[in-house]
Amino acid sequence: MSARLPFDPIERAGQSWAKHYPEAGEQTYDAMRAVTSIMRAQQILIAGLDAALRPFNLTFSRYEALVLLTFSSSGSLPLSKIGERLQVHATSVTNVIDRLEAAGLVQREPNPRDGRGTLAVITEQGRRVVDEATRELHRNDFGLQALTTEELQRLFTVLRRLRIDAGDFADQRPS
């Protein structure tokens, strides 16, 4: 990483945006700054999470799959259900499960409820690894240690509205 800049490059880009596109208005200026900040925050978080998970031979996507299996009542889920819950394409699930299986953290079994389907089943080694990795992620609040509890709650609420608007899920909360 290069040296710290003496200014906020996203704020500077926002000022340039407002100067070059004044007709866009303040809402658009704020939206540009917000989306650019979200994208940069994602880069920071993924880099930090992957670094924390590297000693466990995990990426964040593999970690999420293991946690999902750990939370299931039987320690197993159909691959289609994993994709649905993690909101990723079936090809991504196959890749994640392939890597977890190669590492001995999950195994594939035929789905007794669906003759064509496959279950991913967490192994005992997988349970140990996910527990250790989770303790590591807890040490720095999943990379969000700079935020207060109140800020984390507000951030979740704001981003939840964005996810609802995108159609990720139906909002079941009363208005």
Report yes or no: 103 and 56 within 8 Å, Cβ to Cβ. no
Whether residue 34 has pLDDT greater than 80 = yes
Q: What DSSP element (H or E) covers 84?
A: helix 79-86
Give residue limits of the domains in the chain: 8-56, 57-137
Whether residue 43 has pLDDT greater than 80 = yes
User: Considering only the top CATH level, what class is 57-137?
Assistant: mainly alpha
At residue 173 the predicted structure's pLDDT band, cuts being 50, 70 and 90, is: confident
Residue 54 one-letter amino acid: R
Q: For 73-86, how does the pLDDT look when each residue is reduced to its tens digit (9 = 90+)? A: 999 999 999 999 99
Report yes or no: 82 and 100 within 8 Å, Cβ to Cβ. no
Q: For 47-56, how does the pLDDT look when each residue is reduced to its tens digit (9 = 90+)? A: 999 999 999 9
The pLDDT value given to residue 38: 95
The pLDDT value given to residue 147: 96
Q: What's the Rg (C-alpha) of the chain?
A: 20
Please tell me the pTM assigned to this model.
Answer: 0.85
Q: For 109-167, how does the pLDDT look when each residue is reduced to its tens digit (9 = 90+)? A: 998 888 788 899 999 999 999 999 999 999 999 999 999 999 999 999 999 999 999 99
At residue 174 the predicted structure's pLDDT band, cuts being 50, 70 and 90, is: low
Mean pLDDT for the chain overall: 93
